[in-house]
């Protein structure tokens, strides 16, 4: 038996049979000192091992480059890819690999977005995250930044959260809780329900 890209070749009397190779979804996190070519380095190794790059979120934070990505890869290439990625540590790039086992989407049917803007101070993320967790809300994507206000020069905190709302959560109750918390934190919040991708 041998493998050829995404096919397993079985030697049989009278000829060869081609069967699809078993693929696994992998989630990878990447972090290292920012420099040109980091993404190309990871993408090249994925391609050399026959992997398919599905989705990713990557950015520069301070002087570091960090990202998360998901790929599909033939199971028999997984060990070789992981070894090649570990070798990147000598270039200052750390990569962690984990099989994507998926999640329970049955109880996470509604999608919503929350925007937060206000004067920066410690505790904003912690208290917002705690309020969401108490309602069973699952954070799908979170991005934030601190910027200088145009006139006053004060530091403004700005965050966008995309989240899954469980069927057990009442949207009106969640909205009231977030508005109350916004008053306590002296920030503005905007909440909207999003259409669920088909």
Assessment of whether the complete model's pTM goes beyond 0.85: no
- The second-level CATH assignment, the architecture, of 21-99 is 2-Layer Sandwich (3.30)
Tell me the fold of 110-194.
Answer: Alpha-Beta Plaits (3.30.70)
pLDDT band at 15 (very low <50, low <70, confident <90, very high): low
- Checking if the pLDDT of 3 tops 70, the result is no
Average pLDDT rounded to a whole number, residues 11-38: 77
- Residue limits of CATH 3.30.70.260 in the chain: 21-99, 110-194
Please give the Cα distance from 150 to 153 (Å, whole number).
6
CB distance 37 to 9 below 8 Å: no
In 3D, which of 144, 139, 51 has the Cα closest to residue 95? 51
Neighbours of 17 (CB within 10 A): 12
- Checking if the pLDDT of 49 tops 60, the result is yes
pLDDT band at 14 (very low <50, low <70, confident <90, very high): low
Burial class (CB in 10 A: 0-12, 13-18, 19+), 154: exposed
92: tokens are: 């200052």
- Tens of pLDDT, residue by residue over 89-137, are 999 999 999 999 876 554 447 999 999 999 999 999 999 999 999 999 9
pLDDT at 174: 94
In 3D, which of 169, 179, 175 has the Cα closest to residue 134? 169
- Checking if the pLDDT of 33 tops 70, the result is yes
pLDDT at 71: 96
pLDDT at 1: 42
Average pLDDT rounded to a whole number, residues 68-88: 95
pLDDT at 197: 73
71: tokens are: 């790929």
Please give the Cα distance from 117 to 126 (Å, whole number).
15
- Tens of pLDDT, residue by residue over 128-183, are 999 999 999 999 999 999 999 888 889 999 999 999 999 999 999 999 999 999 99
Q: What percent of the chain has pLDDT over 70?
A: 86
In 3D, which of 44, 26, 32 has the Cα closest to residue 89? 32
First to last CA, the chain: 40
Please give the Cα distance from 146 to 159 (Å, whole number).
9
pLDDT at 106: 47
pLDDT at 104: 56
């Amino acid at each position: 038996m041998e493998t050829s890209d995404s096919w397993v070749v079985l030697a049989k009397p009278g000829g060869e049979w081609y069967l699809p190779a078993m693929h696994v979804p992998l989630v990878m996190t990447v972090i290292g000192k920012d420099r040109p070519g980091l993404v190309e380095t990871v993408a090249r190794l994925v391609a050399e091992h026959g992997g398919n790059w599905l989705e990713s979120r990557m950015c520069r934070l301070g002087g570091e480059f960090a990202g998360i990505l998901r790929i599909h890869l033939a199971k028999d290439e997984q060990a070789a890819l992981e070894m090649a990625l570990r070798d990147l540590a000598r270039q200052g790039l750390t990569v962690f690999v984990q099989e994507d086992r998926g999640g329970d989407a049955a109880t996470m049917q509604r999608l919503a977005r929350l925007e937060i803007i206000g004067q920066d101070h410690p505790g904003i993320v912690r208290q917002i995250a705690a309020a969401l967790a108490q309602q069973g809300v699952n954070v799908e994507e979170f991005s934030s930044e601190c910027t200088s206000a145009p006139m006053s020069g004060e530091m403004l905190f700005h965050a966008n959260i995309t989240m899954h709302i469980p069927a057990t959560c009442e949207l009106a109750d969640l909205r009231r809780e977030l508005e109350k918390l916004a008053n306590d934190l002296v920030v503005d919040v905007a909440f909207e329900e999003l259409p669920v991708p088909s």
